[in-house]
Amino acid sequence: MKQVLECKLEVTENGDESGRFLLTGVMNFDSVTLLNQRASELFPKFKSITIDLSGVTYVNSAGLALLLEWKRKAFLDNKTIQILSIPRKLLNIARVSEIENILSFQSN
């Protein structure tokens, strides 16, 4: 039986129009669908979204694709999205893919 590693997206702070979220656990092919469903429940309530990735223990290209999707949805919905504490591995994948500027990734 395949073990699915845990991932969570939780609100840590919210204001009138802004929400701050902590993403913890594994961002991979097995977890991104669940994470995206959770985001679809939480994100619509806010005009400004900040996602803290400091709790991410593992990430691969599926995690990067999910962040791109969230960025795309935010743009289409006239929302802002900021991503904090980007894991080095994720930053490296974005650089190799030449998309770190699309996600506004910056070195810590």
What is the sign, positive or negative, of the torsion defined by CA atoms of 38, 13, 71, 66? Answer: negative
CATH number of 21-96: 3.30.750.24
Q: Give the pTM.
A: 0.88
Question: For 4-51, what is each residue's pLDDT tens digit?
Answer: 568 999 999 888 799 999 999 999 999 999 999 999 999 999 999 999
Distance CA 47, CA 7 (A): 24
Q: For residues 58 and 5, is the Cβ–Cβ distance under 8 A? A: yes
Please list the residues that pair with 84 across neighbouring strands: 52
For the chain, how big is the Rg over CA atoms in Å? 13
Residues 6 or more apart in contact with residue 45 via CB below 8 angstroms: 14, 19
Above 70 in pLDDT, residue 84? yes
Domain layout of the chain by residue ranges = 21-96
Instruction: Tell me what the mean pLDDT of segment 39-64 comes to.
Output: 95
